[in-house]
């Protein structure tokens, strides 16, 4: 059972997410909150698998709540999906830099939102296709030298795999590109995440772009 917390300042949005989650046999709503501070307290108390977190909320905004969640050692296994009406670069990059595992829009189809919950609960990352493209394009446009990311512990193959993660490829797509099995691709990704202390696949994708591996 995947345990989910919903945090949004709009009652109608919370109701919609609650109804959606409660219709699924493998999902359980463990609580809801209307502001970031209440969300943070709820998450610390219930330790859910996934948090659906709105960006713009009163008292404590979603990004501040995200930072507090990802910085808490007791919440290492909690994944955060940012849910918002805004598809702005400043929010995307700030959320990814601070450990968000997913980023979906409020007009996302219900089936896609449910998929996002299940994907991040399984340790993967989920970005909408348009957001993934913009992440890659933005890094590609930057003339500055790649940020310092220590890759010395990685093998040549692991760097190659990391670069493909940075391009937004799934394990199956990486396997097809490198002519290896999906299980081997998954193992490579897991090892790279451990070596670089990446919280999840989304953070690994950001590191790959910062290191210039996703060109």
Q: Tell me: the pLDDT tens digits for 135-168?
A: 655 655 554 445 578 899 999 999 999 999 888 7
Residue 58 included in any domain: yes
pLDDT of 144 reads 47
Determine whether 26 is exposed, middle or buried from the number of CB atoms within 10 Å of its CB (0-12, 13-18, 19+). Answer: exposed
| Pair (38, 66) in one structural domain | yes
Shared domain for 68 and 99, answered yes or no, is yes
The residues with which 83 forms a beta bridge, in sequence order, are 54, 104
Instruction: Name the domain count of the chain.
Output: 2
78 within some domain: yes
Boundary residue ending a domain (109, 136, 163)? 136
Say if 215 falls within a structural domain.
Answer: no
Alpha carbon distance 196, 54 (integer Å): 28
Alpha carbons 14 and 167: distance in angstroms, whole number? 33
Query: Phi and psi of 202, rounded to 5°?
Result: -60, -45
Q: What is the pLDDT of residues 30-86, one digit of tens each?
A: 999 999 999 999 999 999 999 999 988 899 999 999 999 999 999 989 999 988 776
Residue range(s) defining the domain that contains residue 31: 2-136
What is the DSSP secondary structure assignment for residue 197, as one 8-state letter? Answer: T
Residue that is last in its domain, among 113, 136, 159: 136
And the tokens for 126?
Answer: 């989920």
For residue 164, what is the domain's CATH number?
1.10.10.10
Name, of 42-56, 115-129, 163-177, the range with top average pLDDT.
42-56
- How many other CB atoms are there within 10 angstroms of residue 118's CB atom? 16
CB 55 within 8 A of CB 71: no
Contact 14, 5 (CB under 8 A): no
Among 112, 136, 160, give the residue marking a domain's end. Answer: 136
Same domain, 110 and 154: no
């Amino acid at each position: 059972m995947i345990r989910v917390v919903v945090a949004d300042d709009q009652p109608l949005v919370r109701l919609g997410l609650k109804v959606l989650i409660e219709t699924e046999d493998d999902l359980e709503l463990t609580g809801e909150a209307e502001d970031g501070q209440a969300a943070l307290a709820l998450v610390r108390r219930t330790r859910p698998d996934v948090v659906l977190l709105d960006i713009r909320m009163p008292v404590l905004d979603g990004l501040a709540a995200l930072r507090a969640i990802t910085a808490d050692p007791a919440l290492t296994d909690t994944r955060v999906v940012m849910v918002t009406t805004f598809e702005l670069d400043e929010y995307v990059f700030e959320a990814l830099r601070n450990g968000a595992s997913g980023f979906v829009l409020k007009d996302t189809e219900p089936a896609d939102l449910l998929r996002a919950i299940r994907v991040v609960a399984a340790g993967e990352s989920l970005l909408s296709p348009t957001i993934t493209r913009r992440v890659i394009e933005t890094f590609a446009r930057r003339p500055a030298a790649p940020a310092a990311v220590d890759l010395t512990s990685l093998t040549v193959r692991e760097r190659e795999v990391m670069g493909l993660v940075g391009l937004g490829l799934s394990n199956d797509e990486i396997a097809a590109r490198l002519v290896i099995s999906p299980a081997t691709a998954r193992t490579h990704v897991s090892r790279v995440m451990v070596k670089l202390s990446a919280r999840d696949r989304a953070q690994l994708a950001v590191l790959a772009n910062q290191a210039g591996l996703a060109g």
